[in-house]
Amino acid sequence: MATVVTTGHLPRAHILVLASGRRIGCAEYGDPACLPVLALHGTPGSRLMFALSDGAARERGLRLIAPDRPGYGLSDHRICASLAQSAEDVAAVADAYGLNRFAIIGVSGGSPFAVAAAAANADRVVLLALVGPVADLRRHIRMSRLHHLIFRVLARSKFGPRAFFRSLRYLVFKAPDTAYRGLMRRVRLSDRQILARADVRASLRAAISEGLRPGVDGAVQDLRLYCAPWRLQLAEIDVPGVVWQGSDDTIVSPAAAYALARKLPNCRLDVIPAAGVRPVRHDPGCGRRRASSGSPSSPLTSL
């Protein structure tokens, strides 16, 4: 059982101290009396990634509990051998907050860990929601040159991932404007319009800076785990699920996200046409696939 220590970092922010002595930092947003949702940030990122969701969560009757994943922000690093082992932290957070039933949302690079947590806690998870998910990219799935470089070349390199994330960390802390301009060049017009907002820019910078503040161990491990064999029985994760994916996402591979949604047996795929570039077609491989509107292709823009 974890000990809960209140911190001064944010309202309702806590550090959970596990029996082993390892710490997990958490922040809460939304309504503390309503449906609990464990929110897993992207790569790189932190608990602060969900700060902009506070008002929307209150309006919708949601209590967001956002832990820093291992090696990010206030959470100590731990070496995980597999995605399945990473699910232990989600269970520890749920236990510390006294949650018997809860939903899980994984954003981008947090999605593989959300899937693993749902697999390990199927009797407790009422909904699995994935936003622009990083999916299993080891199969022959169409992807951009940048995705191929990161997920198939860089991920297999012994020293490449650490060098990559150290370079990113340097830009985030020493040349944040340069990092932001680089991001704006990569994304579509619908994303640029949202990323140009001052509050979004400040929130994104705070979330990534806090995540990388202790170093790059968390990000390096993320890339290793979700580019390795997942070894999760996706067809057996029979919890209600939904995948939201932009059709023209430049941050993650839409084709991989569609494939992930098809493999989850009780999952709805909502495709969001990014600036109307590609039409959404019915895909008989996924029970329910429909177009949505009103959101950018990759809401939080990290991996």
* CA gap 170, 6 in Å, rounded: 30
Whether 302 maps to a domain, the answer reads no
Is 259 part of a structural domain of the chain?
yes
- DSSP SS3 for 267: strand
Q: Is residue 301 part of a domain?
A: no
Q: Is residue 33 in some structural domain?
A: yes
End-to-end CA distance of the chain: 32
Cβ 136 vs Cβ 230: under 8 Å? yes
Phi, psi of 205 (to 5 degrees): -65, -45
Q: Any bridge partners for residue 16, and if so which?
A: 4, 24
pLDDT in tens, the chain (303 residues): 666 666 655 556 789 999 999 999 999 999 999 999 999 999 999 999 999 999 999 999 999 999 999 999 999 999 999 999 999 999 999 999 999 999 999 999 999 999 999 999 999 999 999 999 999 876 656 667 777 788 878 888 889 999 999 999 999 999 999 999 988 888 888 788 888 999 999 999 999 999 999 999 999 999 999 999 999 999 999 999 999 998 888 888 888 899 999 999 999 999 988 532 333 333 333 434 444 333 333 333 346
Asked if the structure places residue 287 within a domain, the reply is yes
Which residues form the domain of 145? Answer: 3-291
Mark out the alpha helices in the chain (DSSP H runs): 54-59, 83-96, 111-120, 145-148, 160-174, 176-186, 189-195, 198-212, 217-227, 254-263
Does a structural domain hold residue 297?
Answer: no
Tell me whether residue 235 is in a domain: yes
Query: What separation in angstroms does the CA of 33 have from each of 28, 61, 259?
Result: 12, 8, 36
pTM above 0.85, yes or no: yes
CATH of the domain at 206: 3.40.50.1820
User: How many structural domains is the chain composed of?
Assistant: 1
